[in-house]
Amino acid sequence: MNFIIRCLCPDDLVPVDRLRAELGWNDTIADWERLLSLSPEGCFAAEQNGQVVGTCTSVCYGNALAWVGMMMVHPAHRRKGIGSALLRCCVDHLRQRGVRSIKLDATPMGQPLYARIGFVPEWTLARWEYRGSPMAVQPASECIQPLAGKHWPAILALDAQALGVPRGRLLRSLAAASRRALVYERGGSILGFGMLRDGALASCLGPVVAGFQAGERLARCLLSGQGDRPVFWDIPDRNEGASLLARQLGFAFLTPLTRMYLDTNPVPSDPSRIWAIADPAAG
């Protein structure tokens, strides 16, 4: 074993983003910066001969829940134990912090690695992709309005219902980085929120957290008039309304993912309220 595991630092971001691009992932430097600023001590790099050859990040939502992400190893350095060492280091760090629940969204390639150290499937999801012509602009709906400061208490309550905990710092950072951030309000209550941001390869729809009617309206409004860039949309399979809408709008299934938890699941989530996850690296 001639690699070391150390903390990821801002100087690593240009080379690790090159690795990210080689894998064809959609994250941007801003996404890496967000993860590092949310968790400066919880993001790790594997280094060999002075080169970063792998990464693994984590974000904590209080002490209740942490998310592991950006697990990648350069193709030339795989099957040498680097991925497993990165994951163990991340999990040890989170356990030392006293985090009660650890989750992640696994690619088919990552799933066996996670299963080996005790991660268990919670539910499945799928990445859907849109590559058609720009979608028609939806007529304005009086229920939909831009997300504003006064909406945050309701947004965090909705997020906690869906995810099990509120992700305040993450959501505020994503909202600031999003091209569009909207809420659905009816009868004086906020019934859903959603965002659309730019990724490296495609726009990214998510998070969208809402009940049935609000979720559909938010997704349609966020997508309408978004231009001719492709769009990625990560949908829990159990949210059949969202998958059906994606199909109706012309999205095609791209790849499966599996949401997993380590050992036990004291913070269960409700996929029927999740119309789009925020990001596989953050839940």
Instruction: Single out the segment in contact with ligand COA by CB under 6 A; choices: 33-41, 74-82, 175-183, 192-200.
Output: 74-82
Q: Which residue in 58, 44, 157, 55 sits closest to 99, CA to CA?
A: 58
Q: Report the DSSP pairing between strands 189-198 and 65-73.
A: unpaired
Q: Which residue in 127, 109, 69, 123 sits closest to 280, CA to CA?
A: 69
Instruction: Indicate the residue among 82 and 135 with the shorter CB distance to ligand COA.
Output: 82
Spatial separation of the C-alpha atoms in residues 226 and 208, rounded to whole Å? 16
Spatial separation of the C-alpha atoms in residues 156 and 171, rounded to whole Å? 9
| Residue in 24, 50, 98, 112 binding ligand COA, rule: CB under 6 A | 112
What are the C-alpha distances in Å from 225 to residues 134, 189, 242, 250, 275?
6, 27, 19, 15, 19
Instruction: Indicate the residue among 59 and 223 with the shorter CB distance to ligand COA.
Output: 59
Spatial separation of the C-alpha atoms in residues 125 and 239, rounded to whole Å? 9
CB 219 → ligand COA: shortest distance, Å? 25
Instruction: Indicate the residue among 79 and 150 with the shorter CB distance to ligand COA.
Output: 79
What contacts 191, CB < 8 A, 6 or more positions away? Answer: 158, 184, 185, 210, 211, 213, 214
Instruction: Single out the segment in contact with ligand COA by CB under 6 A; choices: 102-110, 179-187, 205-213, 228-236.
Output: 102-110
Q: Which amino acid does the sequence have at 135?
A: M
- Does residue 107 touch ligand COA according to CB under 6 A? yes
Q: With contact defined as beta carbons under 8 Å apart, do 59 and 170 qualify? A: yes
- Does residue 23 touch ligand COA according to CB under 6 A? yes
Could you tell me how many residues of this chain bind ligand COA (CB under 6 A)? 17
| Residue in 7, 17, 30, 84 binding ligand COA, rule: CB under 6 A | 84
- Does residue 214 touch ligand COA according to CB under 6 A? no
Instruction: Single out the segment in contact with ligand COA by CB under 6 A; choices: 109-117, 162-170, 189-197, 222-230.
Output: 109-117
- Does residue 256 touch ligand COA according to CB under 6 A? no
- Does residue 106 touch ligand COA according to CB under 6 A? yes
- Does residue 24 touch ligand COA according to CB under 6 A? no
Residues in contact with ligand COA by CB under 6 A are 23, 71-73, 78-84, 106-107, 109-110, 112-113
